[in-house]
Amino acid sequence: AKIRDATLQKIPYHLIVGEQEQTNDHVSIRTHKGQNLGQISQQEFKQKIFCDALSKTRPKEGLGSE
């Protein structure tokens, strides 16, 4: 129910942390579109969301630069 609620709210990433993930210091990731990205380390996830956020804040070339 929690994953479905997050999907309906269009939260970009859903982190699933169970006993196995805690033991391995990993997180399982799904997108709000239902794509399963599998398990990655917490550090890799931090880098991924940082890069995603950075790419969304960069100005688009050619737009409003005239």
pLDDT digits (tens, 9 = 90+) for 9-62: 777 888 888 898 888 889 998 887 888 889 999 899 889 889 888 887 766 555
Q: Give the long-range contacts of residues 50-57, CB within 8 A, separation 24 or more.
A: 52/12
- Give pLDDT, residue 59: 62
Q: Is 65 a residue whose pLDDT tops 50? A: no
- Give pLDDT, residue 66: 46
- Give pLDDT, residue 52: 84
Which residue from 21, 27, 57 is spatially nearest to 43, judged by alpha carbons?
A: 27
